[in-house]
Structure 1
């Protein structure tokens, strides 16, 4: 069986699972299927998908990035407070967002690639570091509102004849770029080669260090964009944005659900975005079904364990066939 059919099967399964969840929960609670709630789930899935797309790049190299949560939160807090304090224009906020993401992501990459520290140790450390920077910068001050330009960016459309929220269009553009680069460029092949066997990739001429740095830079950039999108569509941010919701675990779950292999060497960008939509629908459904919030993290953890177990078995089966 080739990789393409497996990816298509995963994508079809996620689409069907999302539709079934919508229908079943909609029948149980009619408020679930309102246009307002559907819009909320879609916009929430954009943030999840952006985080998970970055996570997909990292996991494909057999790495992990736990710092996406504080990078998201720090970006939202910094840009939001700068706007509240000095009227930072939208273009300036976008520039700062890109800068934060690239710098913090590159720091992760340098520590992993140059110092050869395990990714989970590096990003666990920078998780605390970036979270601390968020508290220090904000001094406990929350962002309570955003100006019309920001709100339009997070909730508006480009034109009346194109009733698609701007964040969805941004996600679509980023998804296309990620899909194309991973599947059709030398860099994408290098990423997958490192995930399969870093030593063999190095011997084949792949610049392992440079590729790893770029992968973590991409993850940081997408996490920062997710943070700015979150700020614009919710109109608020706090010192627990991202970290309080454990979005780092959600992003990992989404990437794995979408078909990215935890053992590296395989990534599915389209599946990741579909996984983001599925998880957003499921988490919202739990609210409408009045499931206690204490069960949410347990459910996410179980989802990760099941997905990893199935992925490991599939990987073992492929090796046995070879």
Structure 2
């Protein structure tokens, strides 16, 4: 075989791999979207309150928080990492934002910047623990989860932050021409993160690190620096999500976000992100976030215990991870 023929065969194989991967992503997203439509229709018949304007607005606002933080989790998962600290960091950011409004008189925009800053610092801590201290992401973020939760209880004395002005509710409960403001923010975040992952060198490096960290390092990618960037950006989104969550209830709640990591991991995996790294798209994550929000909302409307809700989310995670493994085996067998 000539060098030209070998090059052509290599290019053809790479194209086939790319097509198979694209088809796999599309299949994951289509499956998640189908499940979302089926659940939406089922809840429309199961509860007379589901299609009311108030409930749909509530679903939009609830989805926004899950989707924004799930977008953060997706970036981390693509690098073959995991962030278990999202719930406690979101609570810490929301409480910090609420406290500077109540105690220091900060306007909402400045308080939101404070919350985002808290998230960014937590993300930087996670990134340095993973890249400099070389602690596995699971353990590093587990520690941050514990530290963050402890700090928020220390700051508040385990008591919610109340006495906030009505303007504090704008992020979580405001609307623009009938559309929840939180949904508008979510769309902007989704578009921005999708662009970063698909159209920039940062995104290429993110996927490369998740596919093969050592190969990425040998190809000249500054792995430590770029991986830290991923965690910092994820922290920024978690801080924003935590501020929106606090705004929804017009208070800073130290108990917020307990088990939130399950919802956002489920949203990312349902949407096609692989826990083995190197795969994931924001479109799928948003679909997964809506599905999780509908499960939570429907369970409340149908008076299903929160304990059963946890069982349902756990089963969804199992099913999504199994499907991911099955998809990977199929791709490998065809390769």
TM-score if structure 1 supplies the norm length? 0.94
Q: How far off is 1:145 after superposition?
A: 4.8
Residue matched to 2:153: 135
**Residues 51-200 of structure 1: pairs in structure 2 closer than 5 A:** 51-158=69-176, 162-200=177-215
Root-mean-square deviation (CA, aligned residues, Å) is: 1.4
Q: Does 1:47 align with 2:60?
A: no
8 Å contact from structure 1 (residues 73, 227) kept in 2:
yes
User: Could you list the per-position Cα deviations for residues 78-120 of structure 1 after superposition, in whole angstroms to 9, with x for gaps in the alignment?
Assistant: 1112222232211220220121111110000000011111100
**For residues 145 and 154 of structure 1, do their structure 2 counterparts lie closer, same or farther at Cα, with a shift above 3 Å needed?**
farther
User: Could you list the per-position Cα deviations for residues 186-231 of structure 1 after superposition, in whole angstroms to 9, with x for gaps in the alignment?
Assistant: 1101111111100001111111101110111111111110000111
8 Å contact from structure 1 (residues 78, 138) kept in 2:
no
| 119-128 vs 96-105, which moves further | 96-105
3-state SS, counterpart of residue 174 of structure 1: helix
Q: How far off is 1:313 after superposition?
A: 1.8
Quote the Cα distance in structure 1 between the aligned partners of 2:326 and 2:130.
Answer: 28
Quote the Cα distance in structure 2 between the aligned partners of 1:212 and 1:238.
Answer: 31
Quote the Cα distance in structure 1 between the aligned partners of 2:273 and 2:29.
Answer: 12
Q: Does 1:37 align with 2:55?
A: yes
**Residues 283-298 of structure 1: pairs in structure 2 closer than 5 A:** 283-298=296-311
Quote the Cα distance in structure 1 between the aligned partners of 2:182 and 2:305.
Answer: 30
Quote the Cα distance in structure 1 between the aligned partners of 2:217 and 2:125.
Answer: 22
Moved over 3 A (4+): 1-6
Quote the Cα distance in structure 1 between the aligned partners of 2:46 and 2:236.
Answer: 39
3-state SS, counterpart of residue 30 of structure 1: coil
Q: Structure 1, unaligned stretches of length 5 or more?
A: none
Aligned length: 317
| 49-58 vs 88-97, which moves further | 88-97
Give the counterpart of 1:312 among 314, 319, 325: 325
User: Could you list the per-position Cα deviations for residues 265-314 of structure 1 after superposition, in whole angstroms to 9, with x for gaps in the alignment?
Assistant: 01110110111011101111112222222111122112112211111121
Residue matched to 2:230: 215
8 Å contact from structure 1 (residues 22, 33) kept in 2:
no
**Residues 211-290 of structure 1: pairs in structure 2 closer than 5 A:** 211-243=226-258, 246-290=259-303
Quote the Cα distance in structure 1 between the aligned partners of 2:23 and 2:67.
Answer: 22
Residue matched to 1:303: 316
Q: How far off is 1:134 after superposition?
A: 0.5
3-state SS, counterpart of residue 164 of structure 2: coil
Bigger CA radius of gyration: 2
Residue matched to 1:25: 43
